[in-house]
């Protein structure tokens, strides 16, 4: 755990020092979600219907925008190579790096989401469901995105290739996340949606660091 905490602390400090990049992703999230009412009109029921999906799509795109930085700085500085050569378990420090990425990019999106939900006229209960779904779903986005970031590390046009690789895998998270709010609004149980997101999170936690370790091993050869 000492290694995990050390890598987590280091990556959070690096993220804080380059907080302008983090603000870009957060600003992108807010701007994308704010543009839709101008395009579809200000009809209240229509905004309530599309609000959860818009917030989720904006969160997905903002997460995608921040993914290339997960390993690129360490790759360019040589730190990643030293970590790969160290005897420490790769899964441990990779888990810390993914956790730091979510804390720096995913958690701020969850915090800002209620303000955007109010702009779409969502009820307090729907906002609570949306935040719960985002808390379960945004870590999955970071975990899936980490695999794509590792696979495209050092490649030309990595950003575009990363999007092509991970966006199809993120669609189920988007469907169940937005669907949980729709189910609540329709008076149906949200347990199935949240349980599927929770199961997806556990599966991603188990598999993503292993896949990242294998991908980074290939990239470093």
Residues 56-115: pLDDT tens digits? Answer: 999 999 998 888 888 877 777 778 888 888 888 888 889 999 999 999 999 999 999 999
Q: Which residue has the higher pLDDT, 130 or 15?
A: 130
Q: What 3-state DSSP class applies to 11?
A: helix
Q: What 3-state DSSP class applies to 89?
A: coil
Tokens of 65: 């925008």
pLDDT tens figures, 61-71: 999 888 888 88
The residue segments making up the domain with residue 113 are 2-220
Distance of CA 211 to the CA centre of its chain: 17
CB atoms within 10 A of CB 64: 20
| Contact by Cβ (8 Å): 109, 29 | yes
**Closest Cα partner for 70 from 174, 183, 152?**
152
| Contact by Cβ (8 Å): 60, 170 | yes
Q: How confident is the model at residue 185 (pLDDT cuts 50, 70, 90)?
A: confident
pTM for the whole structure: 0.90
Q: How many structural domains is the chain composed of?
A: 1
Residue 217: enclosing H or E segment and its boundaries?
Answer: helix 191-220
Instruction: Report the alpha-carbon angle 136-139-141, nearest 5.
Output: 110
pLDDT at residue 214 greater than cutoff 90: no
**Closest Cα partner for 126 from 179, 176, 172?**
179
CB atoms within 10 A of CB 177: 30
């Amino acid at each position: 755990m000492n290694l995990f905490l050390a890598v987590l602390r280091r990556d959070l400090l690096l993220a804080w020092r380059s907080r302008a990049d983090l603000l870009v992703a957060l600003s992108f999230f807010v701007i994308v979600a704010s543009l839709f009412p101008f395009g579809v009109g200000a009809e209240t029921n229509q905004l309530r219907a599309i609000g959860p999906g818009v917030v989720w799509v904006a969160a997905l795109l903002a997460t995608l925008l921040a993914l290339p930085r997960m390993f690129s700085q360490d790759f360019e500085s040589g730190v990643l190579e030293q970590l790969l050569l160290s005897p420490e378990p790769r899964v441990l420090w990779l888990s810390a790096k993914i956790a730091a990425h979510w804390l720096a990019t995913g958690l701020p999106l969850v915090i800002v989401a209620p303000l955007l939900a109010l702009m779409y006229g969502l009820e307090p209960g729907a906002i609570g469901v949306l935040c719960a779904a985002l808390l379960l779903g945004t870590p999955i986005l970071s975990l899936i995105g980490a695999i794509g970031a590792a696979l495209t590390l050092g490649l030309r046009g990595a950003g575009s290739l990363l999007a092509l690789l991970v966006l199809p895998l993120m669609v189920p998270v988007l469907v169940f996340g937005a669907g949980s709010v729709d189910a609540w609004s329709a008076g149906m149980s949200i347990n199935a949606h949240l349980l599927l997101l929770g199961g997806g999170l556990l599966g991603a936690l188990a598999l993503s660091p292993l896949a990242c370790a294998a991908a980074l091993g290939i990239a470093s050869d």
